Amino acid sequence: MTSKYQPKKKRVVVAMSGGVDSSVAAALLKSRGYDVIGMTMCFSLADSPKKKPNCCGPQGINDARRIAGLLDMRHYVVNMQPHLEKYVIKDFCQEYLKGRTPNPCVRCNQYLKFDFLLKKAQSLQAQYLATGHYAGILKSRRGFELRKAKDKTKDQSYFLYRLNQEQLRYALFPLADYTKQEVRKLAAKFKLPVAEKLASQEICFLPSPDYRKFLQSRFKYEFQPGPIVDKEGNLLGQHKGIAFYTIGQREGLGIARGYPVYIIAINPKENKIIVGKKEDAYCAEFLIRNPHFILEPARKKKIAVRVRIRYNHKEAPAQVFSRDGMLRVKFKKPQFAVTCGQSAVFYQRDKVLGGGIIDKVLKG
């Protein structure tokens, strides 16, 4: 990053999951003279008392506590289950039941880490909350800007786009200028026992990688089978419930057509899934709801940006139009599997402008 906001060295709480990233973030801040306190979120789900998530369960808590001890830091465990249930899991389930595909990590950062956990940090007279996210903060004349991290392959700014000025003011991302490989080397240098610990790739509150099992454990009678049809309405098969499917999916449909078939639309009102060829799953325009900008944008009816429609999607050039309180996004070239419920995040080079929830796909 060309410039980095450097606050005065004061007390900082580090959100520690027990993984290598948050552990190194804590060690870096400690080495720079900060008064560092570790804090670990605990999620204890009634659905799965014997299969708690690694990053927020007993193993993660023990690893975080051990790291805090090695670094001579105070460490606290905070029960986040009620807040997780209210702000993340409820939305997660409702979105899938509507045939949409949510992104719970975005809401976790917005409502849990940088709201509830930040308030906990401030109750300990801490001036900052730090995390192991790969992202950066730049202080400009207009305010605080969210930036991509040095390691573009690990950049997590996508998950942080809903943070506001007040949250960014108190946030620190110590890993902004490091690659994942450099972070592991730092962990070895600091003699942290989690230097080679594998990163969790799963949604933290799910007891298994399959979200469908989690939904079934909560809504045993909510899932109604329905028709799978082609674009012309011809019946091709039957689905097990729209919550179990997503746009762009081709596996698990049980349909043989002589060519690959993809889900191109989900109609929750008619409990119907529409499939087609891969080219049918592309679209160039969509509407978003609940838009959020990190800094108030210039009052323009149209802005040119690069848009990421899911975390592992390559940004693509687009124009964003503002009209009657809604935002319409139009890609220069159609993109594959634009999915309602996912976040569309706007970038200008390395700067995150903001974004919103994909609400409706517009097809010509």
Write out the catalytic residue numbers.
108, 204
**Local structure of 24: helix, strand or coil:** helix
Any idea which residue has 């730090």 for tokens? 130
For residues 327 and 287, the answer to whether their CB atoms sit within 8 Å is yes
CA gap 74, 84 in Å, rounded: 24
For residues 36 and 26, the answer to whether their CB atoms sit within 8 Å is yes
Question: What percent of the residues of the chain are helix, what percent strand, and what percent coil, each to the nearest 5?
Answer: 25, 30, 45
The residue count of the chain comes to: 364
For residues 271 and 224, the answer to whether their CB atoms sit within 8 Å is yes
Any idea which residue has 């997590």 for tokens? 156
How many Å separate Cα 331 from the centre of its chain?
A: 22
Long-range contacts of 331-334 (CB under 8 A, 24+ apart): 331/284, 331/285, 331/307, 333/284, 334/282, 334/283, 334/284
